[in-house]
Structures are given as structure tokens and as C-alpha cells.
Amino acid sequence: MTCAKRFGWILVLLALAACSHWQAQSPIDAYPSYAPHDDWTLRGKLGVRHGDERSSMHVYWDVHGEDFTLRLSAPVGGQQAVIVHARDIMTAALPDGLIHYADTPEELFENLYGWQAPVSSLRWWVRGLPDPAKRGRAIAQDNPLEKHWQQDGWTIRWQQYRDFREVRLPGRVLLDGPDGLQLTLIVQDWEWPDPRTGAPAP
């Protein structure tokens, strides 16, 4: 075997080792097949801390594959925005009738609120899973009921695990991001189709 070929095999083996190490770090050892996957609806409350600003909003997030509808409403004052991703088009409808467009949900959030919500990865994080498209690492914790993860410039803390439809999922997700931005998502309820029966989970 020539030196060039030997070096090529070494690179392949190192890459495979890196991939296996990444997979082994997943905070969930076995995600159930009957847990929420491509189609689900989440209801909850989102708290936002950005510098001296504090705000909160109710969240209704309806996901179907890559498309989703995200409704955000203030505790007092009603609806704030309806964010829709459909057929690769991202829009946000506001109560004043204005429609905003953007290429990504992160860009849309920054245009609306002045900060970027990691919506693309949050689709995974709300289920207690790392985003498989991005590298990350686990942070060791003494508390077995709490898991920490670092990914894409964010620290994710999964807390208050609860049983939703026979699946144990985090009831509270804390996100510490860039520029001191902190997001706290309290999960109140889940709905998703049950593949064992073909019907929506009750």
C-alpha cells in the first residue's frame, strides 16, 4: 500500500471515529418510535430575557414535516404574530395586517423582535434531542433528572421531564445563547399521531 493510500485510510477511520463519538453523545439513548417525530403540535409558554428586556408569550406550534405554523400571543393583548413556513416560503402575519418575509425563521425573528430564535434546531431541542445536522457535546451533570447540551453557540438545559402520552419529554427547556439572550420554554401539552393506532394521540 502506498503512503498516499495509507494516509487516505487513516483519514477515513478518523472520520468514522468522530461520527461514532458524536452519535454516542446523544442525550436520549433510544427515542421511542411512538414519540413525536415529523408531525406534532406543542402548546406552551416562552419567556425571553435579552439584556434589560423581559417578555413572555404563549406558543402554539403545529409541525408537519418541514412546514409549520407558529402562533405567538401575548398573555395580555392577544395575538402578536403568526409565523408560517410552507413550501420553502417563510412569512409572518402581524395584527396590523403587515406581512413580513424572510429566508429563514431565525432571520424572521430578528426582523420582528431584534433577536434570533434558533427555530430550526428548536424543532429537535423541544423533544430533548440534539439537532442531527449540527455538531454538539454533552455537559456532565450531577442531577440525573437534568441534561445539558452545547450546540451551535447555544447551551440547552432539559429539565422537569414529564410523561406526555407515555413518552418522557422535557417539560422545561432553557436556552442560553449569544449576547446574553436567554429563552425559557415551558411545555404545557403535546399532540401527535400515534403510529401504533394511526390516530392522533388523545
Please write the tens of the pLDDT for every residue from 66-79. 999 999 998 765 56
Each domain of the chain, given as residue ranges in start order, spans 32-200
Across 35-55, average pLDDT:
93
Model confidence band, residue 64 (pLDDT cutoffs 50, 70, 90): very high
Please give the span between the terminal C-alpha atoms of the chain, in angstroms, as a whole number: 61
Which grid cell is 125? 431541542
Which one is predicted more confidently, 157 or 1? 157
Q: What is the pLDDT at residue 194?
A: 79
> CA–CA separation, 115 vs 112, rounded Å?
8
Asked whether the predicted pLDDT for residue 165 surpasses 90, the reply is: no
Q: Which of 4-13, 22-31, 32-41, 90-99 has the lowest mean pLDDT?
A: 4-13
Q: What is the pLDDT at residue 30?
A: 76
- Is-contact 56 48, C-beta < 8 A? yes
> Which has the closest alpha carbon to 59: 109, 114, 102, 104?
109
DSSP state of 153: T
Superfamily of domain 32-200: Lipoprotein localisation LolA/LolB/LppX (2.50.20.10)
Q: Give the chain's mean pLDDT.
A: 83
The proportion of the chain whose per-residue pLDDT surpasses 90, expressed as a percent, equals 58
Q: Which helix (H) or strand (E) holds 50?
A: strand 39-50
Model confidence band, residue 5 (pLDDT cutoffs 50, 70, 90): very low
pTM reported for the whole predicted model: 0.80
Please write the tens of the pLDDT for every residue from 167-188. 999 999 999 998 899 999 999 9
* Counts for the chain of helices (H) and strands (E), in that order: 3, 13
Asked whether the predicted pLDDT for residue 57 surpasses 70, the reply is: yes
Which one is predicted more confidently, 66 or 141? 66
The proportion of the chain whose per-residue pLDDT surpasses 70, expressed as a percent, equals 81
Which one is predicted more confidently, 127 or 21? 127
Which one is predicted more confidently, 47 or 3? 47
